[in-house]
């Protein structure tokens, strides 16, 4: 089983603390697929630059969208300044507004002036070419790979790597999935080592793992994603259909177990908007009411797509104009504007005009 795939997965579900409602009628939405110029129907990551362009990572190239047309960047074997690979696995824009592209064959830095790429691979010092996540941390780019956590100095591009030893000096597993940067702490998910916590002051790691005899430990050591909501709550997604809520007072977790009918829902990431957490999932678009912890879902299918049980949503992004973007497996892109949710507002609030997004 290829662990790199699972960086896209965050198992999220409801529990005794929350219930899953029946699927809601889909909002109005616009779809974009290969017929519209998108290079590939599998869209797994996205960002927006300061000019307002949307960038989408697919299994066949990097796409820039100007609101009307797609510009596609691909790997070319005869061009060393093309993308490192067509399979885009991560995207981030750093504090200097540079676009970094993670692939299954290394890291690519896009030069907006020349429209060319600088590629960084194992021959340059990376420990592995399969990139799972990229996050900027205090002047460094932290790069999660299939073989250890790498750092790149953003001024001189010097590459370093943490060890994979459970002695506090590095992560306790080599496979690193996702990274959450906070003022004093960096949270890191691993496959097999649970959740790792890096203290920026002491530069030591602490490990949160599963203990079979402790119900308040992490539900499994296969931790996939980590998210902090606006209430300050830290959520950890795992690969055993459990969402873990971290309690800093006791350094322990509350496990939210799934309903029977959604036992194996896979969620790629979460965003928060207007009192809801929105989740990309294999069962469509999920939402959780932040106040009640009630879960609802949308299948997100057009009439001509009804041969599918639902849209397998892999990533979410809220753009500057409050459009909710969904990237999916096999079914391309979806754009949902705030007005597209307006007709359903009565499902969510007794107050007219309070829309669930965005």
Distance CA 267, CA 263 (A): 12
Range of the domain at 219: 3-347
3-state secondary structure of 90: strand
Per-residue pLDDT of 126-143, as tens digits, reads 999 999 999 999 999 999
Report the alpha-carbon distance of residue 151 to residue 334 in Å, rounded: 33
Q: Into how many domains does the chain fold?
A: 1
Is 356 contained in some domain?
no
Among 228, 225, 253, 256, which Cα is nearest to 241's? 256
What is the total residue count of the chain? 358
With respect to residue 156, please indicate whether it lies within any of the assigned structural domains: yes
Task: Name the pTM for this structure.
Answer: 0.86
Picking from 265, 273, 289, 333, the residue whose alpha carbon sits closest to that of residue 32 is 333
pLDDT of residue 351: 34
Q: Is the peptide bond before 358 cis (omega within 30 degrees of 0)?
A: yes
352 inside domain: no
Calpha distance 172→289 (Å, rounded): 34
* DSSP notation for 238-298: ESSS-EEEEETTTTEEEEEPPPGGGTT--EEEEEEETTEEEEEETTEEEEEETTT--EEEE
Predicted confidence (pLDDT) per residue in 213-272, tens digit: 999 999 989 888 898 999 999 988 887 667 789 999 999 999 876 453 555 566 667 888
CATH of the domain at 294: 2.130.10.10
Domain assignment of residue 357, yes or no: no
> Which of 45, 16, 33, 24 minimizes the C-alpha distance to 286?
24
Instruction: Give a yes or no: residue 195 inside a domain.
Output: yes
Q: Mean pLDDT across the stretch 174-180?
A: 93
Q: Write the pLDDT tens digit of every residue in 261-280.
A: 555 566 667 888 888 888 77
Lowest mean per-residue pLDDT among 59-73, 82-96, 334-348: 334-348
Taking the C-alpha atoms of residue 46 and residue 281, their distance in angstroms, rounded to an integer, is 16
């Amino acid at each position: 089983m290829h662990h790199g795939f699972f960086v896209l997965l965050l198992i999220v579900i409801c529990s005794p603390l929350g219930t899953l409602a029946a699927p809601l009628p889909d909002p109005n939405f616009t779809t974009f697929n290969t017929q519209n110029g998108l290079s590939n129907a599998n869209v797994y990551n996205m960002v927006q630059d300061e000019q307002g362009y949307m960038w989408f990572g697919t299994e066949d190239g990097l796409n820039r969208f100007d609101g009307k047309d797609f510009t596609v960047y691909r790997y070319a074997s005869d061009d060393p300044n093309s993308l490192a690979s067509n399979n885009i696995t991560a995207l981030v824009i750093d504090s200097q507004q540079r676009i970094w592209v993670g692939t299954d064959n290394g890291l690519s830095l896009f030069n907006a002036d020349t429209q060319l790429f600088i590629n960084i691979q194992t021959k340059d010092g990376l420990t592995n070419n399969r990139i799972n996540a990229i996050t900027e941390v205090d002047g460094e780019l932290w790069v999660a790979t299939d073989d250890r956590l790498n750092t790149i100095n953003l001024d001189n591009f010097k590459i370093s790597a943490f060890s994979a030893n459970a002695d506090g000096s590095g992560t306790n597993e080599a496979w690193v999935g996702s990274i959450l940067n906070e003022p004093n702490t960096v949270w890191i998910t691993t496959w097999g080592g649970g959740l790792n916590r890096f203290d920026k002051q002491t530069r030591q790691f602490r490990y949160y793992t599963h203990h079979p005899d402790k119900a308040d430990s992490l539900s499994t050591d296969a931790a996939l994603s980590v998210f902090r909501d606006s209430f300050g709550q830290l959520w950890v997604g795992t690969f055993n259909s459990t969402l873990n809520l971290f309690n800093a007072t006791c350094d322990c977790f509350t496990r939210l177990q799934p309903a029977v009918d959604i036992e194996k829902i896979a969620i790629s990431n979460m965003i928060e908007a207007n009192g809801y957490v929105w989740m990309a999932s294999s069962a469509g678009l999920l939402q959780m009411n932040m106040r009640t912890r009630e879960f609802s879902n949308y299948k997100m299918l057009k009439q001509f797509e009804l041969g599918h049980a639902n849209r397998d949503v892999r990533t979410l992004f809220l753009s500057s104009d409050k459009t909710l973007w969904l990237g999916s497996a096999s079914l391309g892109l979806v754009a949902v504007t705030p007005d597209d949710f307006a007709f359903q507002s009565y499902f969510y609030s007794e107050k007219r005009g309070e829309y669930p997004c965005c």
